[in-house]
Chains A and B, each alone.
Chain A
Amino acid sequence: MSARDRILAKLKAAPNLPKPEPDVAAWFAGHRPVENTADKVARFRKCIEFAHAEVHAVTAITWLPKLREVLAARQIDKLLVAEETPHGNAALDELPPQGIECSTYDMPIEAWKTEMFHATPASLTAARAAIAETGTLILWPDAKEPRLMSLVPPVHIVLLDSAKIYNTFYEATQAEGWKDSLPTNALLISGPSKTADIQVTLAYGAHGPKELIVLLMGDEQ
């Protein structure tokens, strides 16, 4: 018998103690009121800012200038963007003439790992959606906008449409039917990388981005 069969046999030999199915939906319905967009935006901001992210309200017109300003403030002149995405293409069109070099993730990581780790100071990605309750960005990296874009560069800038903020993680998974469509990697990001492993003292930029900047599109505040 294989280890698999032995383990399963032991578990199956144990008393069968079926338990009632938990009602997750009822708990959320009873404990997490559905908020309007303005409230969700406010809660999202408060939470993610508490986690040390920087949030800027932008519009379809102002987001690129704001992006440039954010980079200039940090004296960053190089940005990793995803081509074939609307925001990536917009950046590719607008930023290089203004002195910001835009590199693209156009080949498998093996071909440029060292450059990614050593010469990529910042990246721009979109967020698929967000969660107000916890101040969380939802990213589903894909072939166009791969996983390491939101992990390796020390500064990660995220474009988020404020109409896509859910109340809770639960609501997001239900509304978007995640259980039938999960990608290779789905990510929740709720601030810059951090650790409190030395004397419970909080330090940012442990292994991932030291700074997380959210450009919150459509927020009129």
Chain B
Amino acid sequence: MNAQPIHFKPSEGFRDRAKAVVDNPFLRQSFRGAMDFLMSKRAGQFPDVEELESLRTLGEQIRQYNLGKLPELLVRLEENLTRNGIQVHWAETPDEANEIILGICKRVDAKLMVKGKSMVSEEIELNHAAEAAGIGALESDMGEYIVQLAGEKPSHIIMPAIHKTKEEIAKLFHEKVPGVEYTDNVDALIQIGRKVLREKFLEADIGLSGVNFAIAETGTLCLVENEGNGRMCTTTPPIHVAITGIEKIVEQLSHVPPLLSLLTRSATGQNISTYFNMISSPRKPGEKDGPEEVHLVLLDNGRSQAYADEQLRKTLQCIRCGACMNHCPVYTRIGGHAYGTTYPGPIGKIISPHMLGLEATATMATASSLCGACGEVCPVKIPIPELLMRLREESFSAPHPNPAMRGQGAGYNGLVSFVWRAWATVYRSPMLYGLATWAGSRFSWLMPSSQGPWTTVRTPLKPAPKRLRDMLKERG
């Protein structure tokens, strides 16, 4: 599949990619429409503000409690999964995770892996690695299938093909799926996908899935989905491999119902998804279906770095609902691809630096007006704007020893830092402030009519001829 090379730096060219979407009225309208739809669906699920706020507080408490015990819970999860017959693997890096998964494939001489929706598998670029190893990796979530067929990447974590119109998909199916006539009827298109993919479920040697919640006390993997492809991938092939980030763990089964409710209501405005699939073991003796082997790959990939810092740790509370992107005025303007990261939108801006290093992602943190819409809707109350400010600080401060994150200081610019220091010198001193603003008001005619980026779509800023303090003095 076409995809970005793994060591691609999302920061580079970000503004150009963003501009390309901003200047495309068609894409602008299509993201606006889709996000408006998702926002209103979510709002419909939370008519009672008190219920919403108390449930968000509970969600935050659950996630923080579990993160607080993360190392212990991972060990317990491993023990209980192993007891249940599920094999547990650990991967520090994407390469290690791919090696583990491809190792399983090679052991059974697998030809085809069908994949349920998994953002972590996107994160490790599993499709790339599988193709390189001669193993077919086929996406089976309708949106992911469309995106894969088009040689693209998902533009939204819940709605991967949200950037495509039905006409584009109709053309794609007609061109890429043998024997398919052009139709832009959505039902017909879905039935085409169903037919193609059902044959693949029959054929596949390996089913791959993500995990929404891993329950430590029971040794259970939980999956949320609407289509049924996740159930297909985890039931039909002889081997099921699940992959998850180490943070998706809860200690107790009782933690799941509130998180599930927050997840589906926030994500797509459904009171629950069509399927909630809880897997606690491979096929047991006497059972007639289900995989003979189940594996879980636990991936770090920078999460332990976020974990090491009390503030940055909050990033790991995320349950991947996508509400932050649905409500983000920046995401709405530029869509998911412009970010260049696996996870776009506000959550992408705060999680990607831990995966790719701040040196590759520093620009993303500046692409926010800090309007707070993301933090307001986050079902587990991640303070995203605060984290963005923290990332700005980590990026722009001079490199120092023992940084909290990889790439600290990557955005350091001596001149910019000097300007801010000078600014502080002036603004902490009433005398210097008085002088500077007095000069500004008297010589405002000297203000240039072109003020860089500000005046591309705005009139120039001009200080008023008299400051408020002058007016007050005159008034006496």
Contact = CB atoms under 8 A, between A and B. Distances in A.
A–B direct contact (CB < 8 Å): yes
Interface of A: 2-4, 6-8, 10-25, 27-28, 30-31, 47, 51, 105, 107-109, 113-114, 117, 133-136, 142-143, 146-148, 151, 168-170, 173-174, 178-179, 182-201, 203-209
Contacts of A151: 228, 231-232, 235
Contacts of A203: 186-187, 189-190
A195 B304 contact: no
Contacts of B142: 195, 197-198, 206
Given A20-B61, A168-B257, A195 B271 contact: no
Contacts of A142: 287
Contact of B65 (A21, A178, A198): A21
A3 B90 contact: yes
B289 A15 contact: no
Interface string B171-209: 000000000000000110111011001100110000000
B156 to A, nearest CB: 10
Given A14-B304, A169-B260, A208 B228 contact: yes
A13 B300 CA distance: 15
A3 B297 CA distance: 11
A139 to B, nearest CB: 10
Nearest to A172: B257
A198 B146 contact: yes
Contacts of A107: 288
Given A7-B90, A169-B272, A200-B38, 19 more contacts: A4-B90, A11-B307, A14-B313, A24-B257, A24-B258, A107-B288, A117-B201, A173-B253, A179-B254, A185-B279, A186-B280, A188-B275, A194-B274, A201-B166, A206-B229, A207-B197, A207-B201, A207-B231, A208-B231
B166 A206 contact: no
Contact of A6 (B55, B92, B197, B201): B92
B278 interface: yes
B202 A147 contact: no
Interface stretch (B157-165, B327-335, B356-364, B450-458): B157-165
B89 to A, nearest CB: 8
Contact of A8 (B75, B187, B261, B274): B75
B92 A27 contact: no
Contact of B64 (A6, A19, A134): A19
B191 A205 contact: yes
Given A10-B308, A185-B280, A206 B228 contact: yes
B91 A3 contact: yes
B220 interface: yes
Interface stretch (B66-74, B102-110, B428-436): B66-74
A74 to B, nearest CB: 17
B397 interface: no
Interface of B: 34, 37-38, 51, 54-55, 58, 61-62, 64-65, 67-71, 74-75, 90-92, 96, 140-143, 146, 159-162, 164-166, 169, 186-187, 189-191, 193-194, 197-198, 201-202, 217-218, 220, 226-229, 231-232, 235-236, 246, 252-258, 260-261, 268, 271-284, 286-290, 298, 300, 304-305, 307-310, 313
Given A184-B281, A184-B283, A113 B202 contact: yes
Contacts of B229: 206-207
Contacts of B298: 7
A168 to B, nearest CB: 7
Nearest to B51: A31
B174 to A, nearest CB: 14
Contacts of A201: 166, 186
Given A10-B308, A190-B272, A2 B90 contact: yes
A108 B232 contact: no
A184 B81 CA distance: 11
Contact of B289 (A12, A19, A148, A200): A148
Closest 9 interchain pairs by CB? A208-B228, A197-B143, A206-B227, A188-B276, A134-B272, A207-B228, A4-B90, A22-B61, A10-B304
